[in-house]
Amino acid sequence: MENRHLEEETEIDLRQIWGILRKYFLLILVLPLVAATVAGVSVFFIVAPVYRAETTLLVRNQATTAAITHADLLASRQLVRTYREIARSRAVAVEVKEKLGLQQSVQQLQEMVDVTLRGDTEVIAISVESTNPEFAALLANAVGEAFQKTTIRVMQVENVMVVDRAVAPEYPVAPRKLLSVVMAGLLGGMAAVAAAFVLSYLDNTFKKPDDVERLLGLPVLGAIPLFKVQDFAKEQVGG
């Protein structure tokens, strides 16, 4: 008996869910399309593409041409974290600003530059994102050069070498147009389904006689049919 009761409740719940989805089918269909369209227009015609240029530098424990030992590699990797902070320092940003004659503030330049470590290596990557690919490459290389000069002045040793200079990128890294459109459509669909259930929950009117019995547990004695004004007009004309 209990299993049967549970099955009946499950069947009723599924019917209710299907009824809500069917009732607000137009909303569930239109809202994702609108969201995807807005996202598509934004990423294809409004949002400027962002390009990333990157220069990589190698940090060594000693600036000699002799063979590098395992101890040298370990010491270099320990220095990398310190050197990363130097590359992100205000001193480097000030030197880059003065050298290139930029209008951006020092803080803005620091926010544009990202310095990362390449795994468990002694390689530092300096990347810059900008809507102008040539400027991104120019700034990345300028930061790399200023970083080299600053380490010589601060650490009193010349042990940073450029591995790859930044070049102007051909393709943007953001926005990811197709992904943005798909995500907007999915989010719009989820929002539409959620709105359908919220609207259904807020609707406390009775749509059918069965609703009275189901929700109030009261028997239905009778139902008054819905008449339209046109129906009365037809009856008067016929009479």
CB 2 within 8 A of CB 9: no
Tell me what pLDDT residue 222 has. 67
Looking at this protein, which amino acid is placed at residue 95?
E
For residue 225, the 8-state DSSP code is P
Tell me what pLDDT residue 39 has. 94
CA distance 31 to 38: 11
Q: pLDDT tens, 135-190?
A: 999 999 999 999 999 998 888 878 889 999 999 999 999 999 999 999 999 999 99
Token pair 């330049």 in the structure block, residue: 109
CB 159 within 8 A of CB 61: yes
pLDDT at 63 over 50: no
pLDDT at 203 over 80: no
CB 51 within 8 A of CB 132: yes
Tell me what pLDDT residue 202 has. 84
Domain with CATH 3.30.70 in the chain: 51-164
Between residues 99 and 239, the one the model is more confident about: 99
Report residue 65's pLDDT band, with 50, 70 and 90 as the boundaries: very low
Tell me what pLDDT residue 71 has. 63
Tell me what pLDDT residue 226 has. 66
CA distance 138 to 86: 19
Considering only the top CATH level, what class is 51-164? alpha beta
- Tokens describing residue 212: 């009275």
CA distance 173 to 22: 40
pLDDT at 46 over 60: yes
Cis peptide before 169 (omega within 30 of 0): no
- Single pTM value for the model: 0.69
